[in-house]
């Protein structure tokens, strides 16, 4: 289907006067029906002995967890990364979620964090990498400073330049603020950082359900104008990342910013008045809203995967023998993305590139999740190297940033932190990509 037509139809569908739950259910049922039809036409539906063989393989896989590390496992490095002039600045998004909060206690149950989703995940087919078990850091609690300190040590050992902390501010209320503020107050954690305002309302996506708003971010000029005052104390910190002396601020949902040009201009006025400088504001490109962010007042824009890459991905769901017949999600081909460099089919002026090491949100969405099958540290490294090379040829960017989604998005299967299967392989691939691209 023509991509413009696809985007038009998708946008029109999501504007229908139905609840999000209803729209998601319809999509899931259409995927299930389509998959069953394709299997029937191809006469590939497994029955009898073949089905039994699949089930035996599935049981064997589940019983083998957690098991001993296999051939993909890479141990920790013996020496630390030494940054050189000209190295790209790799910034990883950081989720400050892994600690109990009063809000999560009320919404999900006492003590519930993202680890509850991660630990309950199950494979959807033989060979599907679930559950994802953490490595040396374990099921950490981000109220403990030593855990954050170790994360920074690992990031530095493997060449990351800094963290972009997700920042949760809702009409003046802060959520998931303890890890970030603990970092701010611990000056011995010498690691560059910036903020990415996750400026969208929270709904019950966290455990796979949809629809109900838990806490709303008002889309009013007054609320958005008031936001900027809350980030000024972070911008004053000597570790805060700057571009030509300007503090870097990332906006996750530019489409939600009301009267965008005026709001951004007010942010600039306020920051200048507070003495922190004119902020360098980067807007994240969105999957179904392809507005010209530069004309709206942003200094630059950035990819964010898998959203901005999604329309170029190959759906291989029809090639998968799912253990359950009601799988309503999608399986996409990670290898195809890298081998065919599909990430370069997406381009805009002043666009900072992004890379995702893996993606699999079935921990949150169960049988309705989206899985990128075939992700490996080697493919991830090649993607990084391709992006590093392309970024060197661009003359429209003020800084050598490349964004990673993410440092620790365990519920979405997008993380660099060590796990039981790969060990430090993805961190090692990050470092190797930087070092191998040096002149």
Task: Give the pLDDT of residue 6.
Answer: 53
Sole residue written with tokens 């998601």: 24
Task: Give the pLDDT of residue 17.
Answer: 72
Residue 38 forms part of a structural domain: no
Q: Which residues contact 234 (CB under 8 A, 6 or more apart)?
A: 180, 184, 193, 195, 240
b/e map 108-120, b = 16+ CB within 10 Å = beeebbbbbbbee
Residue 10 forms part of a structural domain: no
The dihedrals phi and psi of 169, each to the nearest 5 degrees, come to -135, 125
What CATH number should be reported for the domain holding residue 117? 3.20.20.80
Q: Tell me the pairing of strands 408-409 and 414-415.
A: antiparallel
pLDDT tens per residue across span 224-234: 999 999 999 99
Residue 31 forms part of a structural domain: no
Rounded alpha-carbon distances, angstroms, from residue 203 to 9, 46, 213, 422? 24, 38, 4, 32
Task: Give the pLDDT of residue 276.
Answer: 98
Residue 290 forms part of a structural domain: yes
Number of domains present in the structure of the chain: 1
Q: Before 407, cis peptide (omega within 30)?
A: no
Residue 313 forms part of a structural domain: yes
Question: Are 179 and 185 within 8 A, CB to CB?
Answer: no
Residue 336 forms part of a structural domain: yes
Q: At what angle do helices 178-185 and 221-235 cross, to 10 degrees?
A: 30
For the entire predicted model, the pTM comes to: 0.90
Task: Give the pLDDT of residue 314.
Answer: 97
Q: Tokens representing 340? A: 């065919």
Which domain range does residue 110 map to?
A: 46-436
Tens digit of pLDDT at every position of the chain (439 positions): 454 555 566 666 656 776 555 555 676 566 556 655 555 444 445 556 777 888 899 999 999 888 888 899 999 999 999 999 999 999 999 999 999 999 999 999 999 999 999 999 999 999 999 999 999 999 999 999 999 999 999 999 999 999 999 999 999 999 999 999 999 999 999 999 999 999 999 987 654 445 578 999 999 999 999 999 999 999 999 999 999 999 999 999 999 999 999 999 999 999 999 999 999 999 999 988 889 999 999 999 999 999 999 999 999 999 999 998 889 999 999 999 999 999 999 999 999 999 999 999 999 999 999 999 999 999 999 999 999 999 999 999 999 999 999 999 999 999 999 999 999 999 999 999 999 999 9
Residue 176 forms part of a structural domain: yes
Residue 18 forms part of a structural domain: no
């Amino acid at each position: 289907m023509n991509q413009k037509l696809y985007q038009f139809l998708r946008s029109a569908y999501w504007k229908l006067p139905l609840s999000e739950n209803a729209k998601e259910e319809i999509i899931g049922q259409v995927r299930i029906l389509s998959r069953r039809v394709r299997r029937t036409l191809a006469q590939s539906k497994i029955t009898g002995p073949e089905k039994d063989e699949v089930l035996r393989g599935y049981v064997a896989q589940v019983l083998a967890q957690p098991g001993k590390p296999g051939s993909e496992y890479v141990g920790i490095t013996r020496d630390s990364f030494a940054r050189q002039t000209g190295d790209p600045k790799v910034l990883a998004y950081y989720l400050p979620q892994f600690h109990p909060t009063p809000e999560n206690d009320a919404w999900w149950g006492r003590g519930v964090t993202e680890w509850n989703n991660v630990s309950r995940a199950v494979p959807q087919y033989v060979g599907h990498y679930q559950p994802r078990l953490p490595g040396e850091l374990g099921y950490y609690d981000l109220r403990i400073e030593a855990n954050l300190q170790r994360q920074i040590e690992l990031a530095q050992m493997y060449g990351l330049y800094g963290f972009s902390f997700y920042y949760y501010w809702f009409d003046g209320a802060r959520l998931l603020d303890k890890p970030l503020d603990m970092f701010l107050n611990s000056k011995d954690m010498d690691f560059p950082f910036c903020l990415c305002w996750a400026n969208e309302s929270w709904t019950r996506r966290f455990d796979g359900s949809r629809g109900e708003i838990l806490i709303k971010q008002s889309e009013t000029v007054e609320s958005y104008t008031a936001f900027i005052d809350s980030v000024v104390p972070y911008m004053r910190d000597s570790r805060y990342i700057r571009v030509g002396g300007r503090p870097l601020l990332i906006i996750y949902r530019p489409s939600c910013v009301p009267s965008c040009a005026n709001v951004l201009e007010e942010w600039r006025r306020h920051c200048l008045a507070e003495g922190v400088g004119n902020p360098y504001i980067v807007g994240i490109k969105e999957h179904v809203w392809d507005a010209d962010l530069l004309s709206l007042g942003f200094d630059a824009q950035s990819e964010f995967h898998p959203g901005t890459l999604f329309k170029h991905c190959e759906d291989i769901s029809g090639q998968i023998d799912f253990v359950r017949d009601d799988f309503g999600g999608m399986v996409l081909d990670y290898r195809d993305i890298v081998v065919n460099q599909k990430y370069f089919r997406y381009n805009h002026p002043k666009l900072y590139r992004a890379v995702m090491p893996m993606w699999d949100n079935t921990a949150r969405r169960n049988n309705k999740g989206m899985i990128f099958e075939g992700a490996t540290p080697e493919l991830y490294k090649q993607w990084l190297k391709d992006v590093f090379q392309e970024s060197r040829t661009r003359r429209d960017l003020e800084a050598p940033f490349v964004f990673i989604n993410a440092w620790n998005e365990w519920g979405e299967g997008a993380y660099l932190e060590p796990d039981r299967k790969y060990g430090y392989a993805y961190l090692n691939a990050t470092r190797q990509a930087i070092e191998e691209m040096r002149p």
